[in-house]
Amino acid sequence: MKKVLILVISILVIIAAGITAYITINHKGSNYVYQGNSIYNVDYQPQNQYACLKNDFIITTTTQTTAINNKGKVLWQIPTVCSKPKLQISGNYILVSDISGQNIYIIKNGNIVFEKTLDNPIFNAQINENGFLAVSTSADGFSSKVTVYNNLGTEIYSYSISDNVAIDCLVSPDNHNLAVSLYGTENSQVVSSIAFIDMSKQAIVEKPSYTNIVISNLFYNSDGHLFAVGDTAALYFDKNGKYLWTNKYNSQILIDYIFHKNNGFSLVFKNSTGTASTKTYNFNNKSKNNIDLSFSPKNISTNKTTAILAGDRTFAYIKINGKLSGNSSIKKDYAYIALSDNGKYLYGVSGDSIELINLK
């Protein structure tokens, strides 16, 4: 069982130097040349995690989490000790969790709201926009356990699982329900299920099960409906856990996805040529747009209206309606590119340098 757990967590986790970059972007039919300038230096490590919080940039290393603004000014810096950090931004909350370790940190407005060293190694953790935290861990005498904490750091619910591994978990937007993605095997087949739990009643209200799919990521949209991403299909449920629809990938290889809680989602598939394509849908599973990209994206960053898909020396803008609004060629490689909430600039990570690219 331990080997299975290590394999599952490894699957879940798998999700160049220089100072100045020149970027040519075809934006709304016109060509612009943008210059990226170094604004901050960081000790680069493969484990580093990055994200935008509104218009600031968050950097998590194995020892600390730092926030900088678009001038490179350090806004705050907090020790967060994690050998394999996972960084999540949800509303005004920042969650730093040590995958396979035991440390959890929640930060808001530059201050620690809650930090804890758990009793068992962490499989996964998610925080909702209200600061309610769900953590999946190993557990003595069980395959796994999910513990829920409120926004004050008080434990309010726990769910022990005897025969499956909880690979993702998330508290609903109204803080009443818990969704848990479970992984197991039966008759040599992979079996995934989703436990929909009413925490006030401490009861599982729905638990649909599916074969030959690993459901690795859970998201609630603004209506409280649950969107579940698997390796062979995406599924959708209402706020009570009632099944609504399945989007099957039909042998296409999913390499990433985009989720907009108010508008829908895009699935990014690998093409046989080594490039990628995106397919965008609304929450009724109705197709909105398809795009063939000229590259395969390495990372995706989103704000409320746009997604940036970044590849090797190139990236593309995709609007929430799935339409391509621009693409670019870049004269250097960035390990990571993040889009600010206001859409006015990008943060790029290149070696030890954090660079800012101002957009028109």
pLDDT at 30: 40
* Residue 360 · residue 344 · CB < 8 Å: no
pLDDT at 358: 84
Q: Chain centroid to CA 78: how far?
A: 22
What's the pTM value of the predicted model, to 2 decimals? 0.89
C-alpha distance from residue 67 to each of 58, 128, 263 (Å): 5, 20, 29
Residue 12, helix vs strand vs coil: helix
Burial degree of 250 (CB within 10 A; 0-12, 13-18, 19+) = exposed
pLDDT at 330: 63
- The ranges of the chain with pLDDT < 70 are 1-35, 328-332, 360
Backbone phi, psi, residue 65, to 5°: -120, 130
Annotated domain spans of the chain: 16-44+249-360
pLDDT at 12: 47
We find that the CATH architecture of domain 16-44+249-360 is 7 Propeller (2.130)
* Tokens at 341, concatenated: 């909430």
pLDDT at 20: 35
